[in-house]
Amino acid sequence: MSGAAHGSGEQLAKMANDIANFFRSEPERKDAVAGIANHIAKFWTPRMRQRLVDYEREQHGAGLDELSREALHALATQPPAARPPEMPGGDAG
C-alpha cells in the first residue's frame, strides 16, 4: 500500500493544504488564514493539531502550503478561550 498513513503528519499536512486551497480564493490573505485556522480549530481534534505541529517542526515547514503554515502559527498564538468550540467526533488517527 502506498501513500501516507491515515492520521500521519504527512496526511494531515495534505488535509491542511486542501483546506488552504479552498480558502485561497478569499480576497484578503488575513481572511484566508483565519478561515483555515478556524476550520482546523473547530473540526480537528487536539491530537490531530498536535501531530500537524510536530510534523511542521520536524519537516521545517516542508510539505505545508504557506497559508497552512501561517494558519498553524496563528492557532499556536491564539489563546484557548478565543478558539471556536470543538465539534464532537472521532480522531483521524
Asked if residue 43 belongs to a domain, the reply is yes
Asked if residue 13 belongs to a domain, the reply is yes
Asked if residue 35 belongs to a domain, the reply is yes
pLDDT of res. 78? 77
pLDDT of res. 1? 40
How far apart are alpha carbons 17 and 93 in whole angstroms? 18
Asked if residue 3 belongs to a domain, the reply is no
pLDDT of res. 91? 55
Helices (H), the chain: 9-23, 29-43, 46-59, 66-77
pLDDT of res. 5? 63
Phi then psi for residue 23, to 5 deg, are: -85, -5
Number of domains in the chain: 1
pLDDT along the chain (93 residues), means of 10: 67 97 97 97 94 94 94 86 55 51
Domain span at residue 72 reads 9-78
pLDDT of res. 85? 58
pLDDT of res. 28? 97
pTM for the model: 0.78
